Structure 1
Amino acid sequence: MKILAPDVPFDLDFPSLLPDGGASFAPGGTDTVATYAMGEPVPEEHTDAEVLITWSNPPKVLADAARRLTRLRWIQTLSAGPDLVLRAGFAPDVVIASGQSLHDDTVTEHTLALILASVRRIDASLAAQREHRWAKEIAFAQADPVTDREYTLDGARVTIWGFGSIALRLAPLLTALGAEVTGVASRAGERSGYPVVGPDGLDALLAETDLLVSLLPAIPATQHILDARLLSLLPPTARFVNVGRGATVDEAALVDALRSGRLAGAALDVMETEPLPEASPLWDVPNLILTPHVAGGRPRRAARFVADQLTAWRQGGDLRNVVAR
C-alpha cells in the first residue's frame, strides 16, 4: 500500500512508529511511504497511491489529486475541518477522515484569547496606544453599574454553537471564569454536565446570549447560517467570536450589525475568503478583532494519530473522525 505524506514543517515521521519503520506493516502486505510537496501536484510516479494525507494543500492541488489519483481508498486530512477535501471532487467511495482533536488545545487557547480580548476591549486599548492616548473611557465604563457587566465573563451567558471536542475543552475554562455555558448541537441533551439545545431552541437562546462562540464546520447546511435574522436576535450588548469556518457567517450582515451598533463587538479568526482581500470591509469595521486563521497553528501529536489510523485501517478496525458523505 502506497501512502503519500505531505512535506509538513512539523513532525510527521509516522513510519518510525510503525513495525519495521513501516516497511512491512502487516502480514502479506508492504507499505511504501512517499513524501510530496503540499503546494504542487502529486508527481506522476505517485498517482498509484491508495492513501493520501493532507494538511494545507491548496484547493487546486486537491482537485488535481481527485482527478489523477484513481486508486485512492482513504484520505486523512490533518485539518480539523474536512471542507476543502470534501469540495475537491474525490470519488464517493473514497473514505475521508478529519484531524478532529489534533487542534483542540491550540484552538481552545486562541478562542479564549479572542473572547477575553473582545470582552476586555484590548482592541480599543491598542488603538488608543497607537494614538498615544490614555483611554479613560474603558475604566469609566467598567466602573459604571449600567455597563460594568459588559466587561467581564463573570455571570456572562455564553452560547457555544457546535458543541464538539473543542467546546468540551473551552467550556470548563469559561465556567472557571464565572460564565454560564450552554451548547448548541444537532441534538439536544447534556454533554459533560453542560446543557445543549437543538436547532429548535436556538432562537430563544440567542435572545439571552451575552457571548456567542461559533465552532461550526463549513458544510452546505451551515453556509451563511449566521445571517441577519439570527444576528438581530442577539442583544445589542452581545459579542460574537468565530473560530469555526468563515463560510458559516453572512459577513455583510455582520458588518452591518457592527456598524449600526446592533452588535457590540466581534472577533474572527476565519473569513469566507482567505487571505482576506484588501478591499474587504472587515478590515475597518469598528469593534472587530481579526486574526489570520491561526487558531489551530499546527496539528499536535499528528504522527501518533496517523500511525494509529493506519493500524486501524490495516487491521480492518474503525477509523476515527470518518466524515459522512
Structure 2
Amino acid sequence: MKILVPDVPFDLDFPSLLPDAGASFAPGGTDVVVTYAMNDPIPEEHADAEVLVTWSNPPRVLSDTARRLTGLRWVQTLSAGPDVALRSGFGPDVVISSGQSLHDDTVTEHALALILASVRRIDATLAAQREHHWAKEIAFAQADPVTGREYTLDGARVTIWGFGSIALRLAPLLTALGAQVTGVASRAGQRSGYPVVAPDGLDALLTETDLLISLLPAGPATRHVLGDRLLGLLPPTARFVNVGRGATVDEVALADALRSGRLAGAALDVMETEPLPADSPLWDVPNLILTPHVAGGRPRGAARFLAEQLTAWRDGGELRNVASR
C-alpha cells in the first residue's frame, strides 16, 4: 500500500510510532510512505496511492488529486475541518476524516485572545498608539455605570455555537473569568456541566447574548447561517468572534451591523475568501479585528494521531473523525 504524506514543517515520522512498524497494511504487500510537495500536483508515478494525508493543500491541487488518483481509498486531513477535502470531488467510496482535536489548544488560545482584545478594546488602543494618542476615553467609558459591564467578561452571557472539543476547552476559561456560558449544538442537554440548547432554541438565546462565539464547520447547512436575521437578534452591545469557518458568516451583513452600530464589535480569524483580497471592505470596517487564519497554527500530536489512525485502518478498526458524505 502506498501512503502519501505532505512535506510539512513539523514532524510526521508516524511509521516509527506504529506498534508493529514492520507489518503491512495490505496482506502480502509492502507499505510505502512517500513524501509529496503539498502545493504541487501529485507526480504521476504516485498516482497509484491508496492513502492520502493532507494539510494545507491548495483546493486546485486536491481537485486535481481527486480526479487523477482513482485508487484512493482514504483521505486523512490534518485540518480541524474536512471542508476543503469534501469539496474536492473525491469519489463517494473514499473515506474522508479530519484532524479534529489536533488544534483544540491553539484555537482555544487564539479565540480567548480575540475575545479579550475585542472586549478590552485592544484594537482601539493599538490604533491610538499609532497616532501617538493617549486614549483615556476608554477608561472613562469603563467607569460609566451604563457601559461599564460591556468592558468585562465578568457576568457576560456567552453563547458558543458549535459545542465540540474546542468549546469544551474554551468554556472553563471563560467561566474562570466570570462568564455564563451556554452552548448550541445539534442536540440539547448538558455537556461537561454546561447547558446546551438545540438550534430551535438559538433565537431566544441570542436576544440575551453578550458575546457570540462561532466554532461552526463549513457546509451547505451552515453557509451564511449568521446573517441579517440572526445578527438582528443580538443586543447592540453584543460582540461576535469567529474561529470556525468564514463561509458560515454573511460578511456583508456583519459589516453593515458593525457600521450601523447594531453590533458593538467583532473579531474574525477566518474569512470566506482567503487570503482576504486587498480591496475587501472588511479591512476598513469599524470595531472589527482581523487575523489571517492563524488560530490553528500547526496540528499538535499529528504523528501519533496518524499512527493511531493507520493502525485502526490496517486492523479494520474504527477511524476517528470520519466526515459524513
When normalised by structure 1's length, the TM-score is: 0.98
Alpha-carbon distance between aligned partners in 2 of 1:183 and 1:127, rounded to the nearest angstrom: 33
Aligned residue for 1:177? Answer: 177
Q: After the TM superposition, which segments of 4 or more aligned residues of structure 1 sit over 2 Å from their partners?
A: 18-30
CA contact (8 A) 1:105 1:166 kept: yes
> Given residue 95 of structure 1, which amino acid in structure 2 is its aligned partner?
V
SS in 2 for 1:142: helix
Aligned residue for 1:209? Answer: 209
CA contact (8 A) 2:80 2:100 kept: yes
CA contact (8 A) 2:18 2:308 kept: no
- CA deviation digits over 1:238-296, x for unaligned, max 9? 00000000000000000000000000000000000000011111000000000000000
SS in 2 for 1:35: strand
Q: CA deviation at 1:24?
A: 4.0
SS in 2 for 1:52: strand
SS in 1 for 2:221: helix
SS in 1 for 2:5: strand
CA contact (8 A) 2:212 2:240 kept: yes
Alpha-carbon distance between aligned partners in 2 of 1:234 and 1:208, rounded to the nearest angstrom: 7
Q: CA deviation at 1:8?
A: 0.5
Q: CA deviation at 1:15?
A: 1.5
- CA deviation digits over 1:60-81, x for unaligned, max 9? 0000000111110000000001
Corresponding position: 1:187 with 2:187:
yes
Alpha-carbon distance between aligned partners in 2 of 1:37 and 1:265, rounded to the nearest angstrom: 40
Corresponding position: 1:16 with 2:16:
yes
Aligned residue for 2:72? Answer: 72
Aligned residue for 2:243? Answer: 243
Q: CA deviation at 1:28?
A: 3.7
Alpha-carbon distance between aligned partners in 1 of 2:59 and 2:27, rounded to the nearest angstrom: 36
Aligned residue for 2:30? Answer: 30
- Report 1:74-153 matches (<5 A): 74-153=74-153
> Given residue 114 of structure 1, which amino acid in structure 2 is its aligned partner?
L
CA contact (8 A) 1:123 1:289 kept: yes
> Given residue 248 of structure 1, which amino acid in structure 2 is its aligned partner?
T
- Report 1:227-242 matches (<5 A): 227-242=227-242
Alpha-carbon distance between aligned partners in 2 of 1:94 and 1:82, rounded to the nearest angstrom: 13
Q: CA deviation at 1:17?
A: 1.4
CA contact (8 A) 2:266 2:287 kept: yes
C-alpha RMSD of matched pairs (Å): 1.1
Identity value in percent: 86
Alpha-carbon distance between aligned partners in 2 of 1:198 and 1:22, rounded to the nearest angstrom: 47
SS in 1 for 2:183: strand
Stretches of structure 1 lacking an aligned partner (at least 5 in a row): none
> Given residue 198 of structure 1, which amino acid in structure 2 is its aligned partner?
A
- CA deviation digits over 1:302-321, x for unaligned, max 9? 00000000000000000000
Alpha-carbon distance between aligned partners in 2 of 1:253 and 1:24, rounded to the nearest angstrom: 53
CA contact (8 A) 2:67 2:90 kept: yes
Alpha-carbon distance between aligned partners in 1 of 2:202 and 2:17, rounded to the nearest angstrom: 45
SS in 2 for 1:272: coil
Q: CA deviation at 1:22?
A: 5.3
- CA deviation digits over 1:177-213, x for unaligned, max 9? 0000000011111100000001100000000000000
Aligned residue for 2:301? Answer: 301
Aligned residue for 1:277? Answer: 277
- CA deviation digits over 1:74-123, x for unaligned, max 9? 00000001000000000001000000000000000000000000000000
CA contact (8 A) 2:237 2:264 kept: yes
Alpha-carbon distance between aligned partners in 2 of 1:19 and 1:322, rounded to the nearest angstrom: 23
CA contact (8 A) 2:119 2:153 kept: yes
Stretches of structure 2 lacking an aligned partner (at least 5 in a row): none
SS in 2 for 1:320: coil
Tell me which moved more, 207-216 or 136-145.
Answer: 136-145
Alpha-carbon distance between aligned partners in 2 of 1:137 and 1:254, rounded to the nearest angstrom: 26
CA contact (8 A) 2:189 2:195 kept: yes
Q: CA deviation at 1:29?
A: 4.0
Q: CA deviation at 1:31?
A: 1.3
Alpha-carbon distance between aligned partners in 2 of 1:17 and 1:206, rounded to the nearest angstrom: 46
SS in 2 for 1:84: helix
Alpha-carbon distance between aligned partners in 1 of 2:308 and 2:67, rounded to the nearest angstrom: 28
CA contact (8 A) 2:39 2:58 kept: yes
> Given residue 56 of structure 2, which amino acid in structure 1 is its aligned partner?
S
Q: CA deviation at 1:21?
A: 4.5
> Given residue 164 of structure 2, which amino acid in structure 1 is its aligned partner?
G
Seen in structure 2, the aligned counterparts of structure 1 residues 23 and 45 have a Cα distance that, compared at 3 Å, is farther
Alpha-carbon distance between aligned partners in 2 of 1:185 and 1:17, rounded to the nearest angstrom: 35
